[in-house]
Amino acid sequence: MKLIQAMKQLKELTTKAEDLREKVKKFCADLTIETPTYPDQRAQVAGWIQAHGDVVKRIGELRLAIQRTNLATAVTIELDGKQVTKPIASWIHRRRDLATLEGAMWSQLSDRNLKEQNLQTAPGGAVTEVRIRRYFDPAERDAKRELYRGEPSIIDGTLEVVNATTDLMEEAA
């Protein structure tokens, strides 16, 4: 099974578990004046509960297999002209928020709305030239902001291919 298949199966199993819970909720009790919907409604409800437990168990197995695969599978992505190799799990975290956090830091670098000007310090006194001192390189800031803004989509594109081609690492039975 490929990673993408496991992720799709997780979604399907989650939906199935929700459906089973809804059936149990709807048919777990009735009034004595009502006709049961199923010939042996107690057994039917117990069967749904058992099926739900089996589905939840499979969800847990798939999640662990996905985590195991994500930790063990190294992926190389080109960022800023460099080949960077990390496990899928690390790329997921970069995609989720770490690249955005890095970009947010570089976005803090600015002129802070300071204005360059010439000031006369006293009436008739000398004119002082006031300039902005930047403790950063604006070109580097702009490049880093662009890099971190685009990183998530680069990661997405690469992981789509990796998820479709990587075998899931399930434990041997």
**What digits encode the pLDDT tens for the residues 12-36?**
999 999 999 999 999 999 999 999 9
Task: Indicate the SS3 state at residue 160.
Answer: helix
Question: So what's the pLDDT on residue 36?
Answer: 97
Phi and psi (nearest 5°) for 56?
-60, -40
Question: So what's the pLDDT on residue 173?
Answer: 53
Region 146-170: mean pLDDT is: 97
Question: So what's the pLDDT on residue 119?
Answer: 93
Question: So what's the pLDDT on residue 123?
Answer: 87
Task: Answer for the pair 135, 67: CB distance below 8 angstroms, yes or no.
Answer: no
Binning pLDDT at 50, 70 and 90, where does residue 172 land? low
The model's pLDDT over 92-128, given as tens digits with 9 standing for 90+, comes to 999 999 999 999 999 999 999 999 999 988 888 889 9
Q: What is the CB neighbour count within 10 angstroms for residue 65?
A: 17
Q: What is the CB neighbour count within 10 angstroms for residue 82?
A: 7
Question: So what's the pLDDT on residue 171?
Answer: 79
* pTM of the shown model: 0.85
Question: So what's the pLDDT on residue 125?
Answer: 85
156 pLDDT higher than 90: yes
Question: So what's the pLDDT on residue 167?
Answer: 97
